[in-house]
Amino acid sequence: MSWKLFGGKIEFLEHTADVYVRTYGVSVQEAFENAALAMFETITKTMKVTHAVEDEITVEAEDCYALLYNWLEALLVNSEVKGMLYSKFHIVDWVETGDSLRFTAHIWGEKFQPKKHVQKVAVKAVTYHRMVIMQENERSIKLEFILDI
């Protein structure tokens, strides 16, 4: 049994100890954006997080799996260090060269406020465990990954 959110773009699958996420997108960029939304939905209710502050991050890696890992980790680090919650993500400038992948993302959110925002659970780390990046068909990319909490 799983929980679907945001019109089925995000699914939380069963996992004994941690958070097991599946996200979809018509493009790999959109699937990555939804992965970010799923991570913050694990931490808080993203509906209550406004888009008051905009940040920008650039991520690079040697393959698509490492890129997903680096992307989520960069968001986690930004969130912890700046005390921010994010709820909107837009990936631009996706560049693939022979041995590396890179993109820039605009991310929107606001400072965590205990009275306003819901505290669910803190994410400790992103993992490679059971990570899946799959082109299901021409119009759908599926991602799966586990967050260590």
Partner 1 sequence: MSEDEGRPAPEHVPLEKITDHIWKIPQYKKDMNVSGIVFANQSLLEKMQADRTLWQCANVAQLPGIYKHAITLPDGHEGYGFPIGGVAATDYNEGVISPGGVGYDINCGVRLLSSDITEQDIRPHLPVLVETIFRNVPSGLGSRRKDLTISNSDLDRLAVDGVNFLVERGLGWKEDAEHCEEQGCMMNANPDVVSNTAKSRGLTQIGTLGSGNHFLEIQKVDKIFNLKTAKTFGITHEGQIMVMIHCGSRGYGHQVCSDYLRIMEHAVQKHKINIPDRELACAPGSSLEARNYYQAMACAVNYAFVNRQAIMHWVRQSFQQVLKRDPEKLGLQLVYDVAHNIAKIENHKIDNETKKVWVHRKGATRAFPPGHQDIPTDYRNEGQPVLIPGSMGTSSWVLVGSQKAMDLTFGSTAHGAGRIMSRSAAKRKYWGGEIRTSLEKRGITVKAASPMVLAEEADGAYKNVDTVVDVSDQVGIATKVARLVPLSVVKG
Q: Which residues bind partner 1 (CB under 8 A)?
A: 1, 3, 12, 14-20, 43-44, 66, 73, 77, 80-81, 83, 112, 114, 117, 119-122, 124-129, 146, 148-149
In the complex with partner 1, the residue whose CB is nearer, 84 or 105, is: 84
Q: Which residues of 51-65 are buried (b: 16+ CB within 10 A; e: fewer)?
A: eeeeeebebebeeee
* 27 versus 128: smaller Cβ distance to partner 1: 128
* Shortest CB 18 distance to partner 1, Å: 8
Helix (H) or strand (E) holding 65: helix 64-82
Nearest distance from C-beta of residue 86 to partner 1, angstroms: 14
Cβ 124 to partner 1, closest distance in Å? 5
Nearer to partner 1 among residue 47 and residue 125 (C-beta): 125
Q: Which is nearer to partner 1, 116 or 139 (CB)?
A: 116
Residue nearer to partner 1 on the CB measure, 16 or 97: 16
> Minimum Å distance from CB 106 to partner 1?
21
Q: What contacts 24+ positions apart, CB below 8 Å, involve 100-103?
A: 100/60, 100/61, 100/62, 101/60, 101/61, 101/62, 101/63, 101/64, 101/67, 102/58, 102/59, 102/60, 102/61, 103/29, 103/58, 103/59, 103/67
Task: Tell me the C-alpha to C-alpha distance, in Å, between residue 144 and each of 60, 81, 126, 140.
Answer: 20, 26, 12, 13
From the CB of 20, what's the least distance to partner 1, in Å? 8
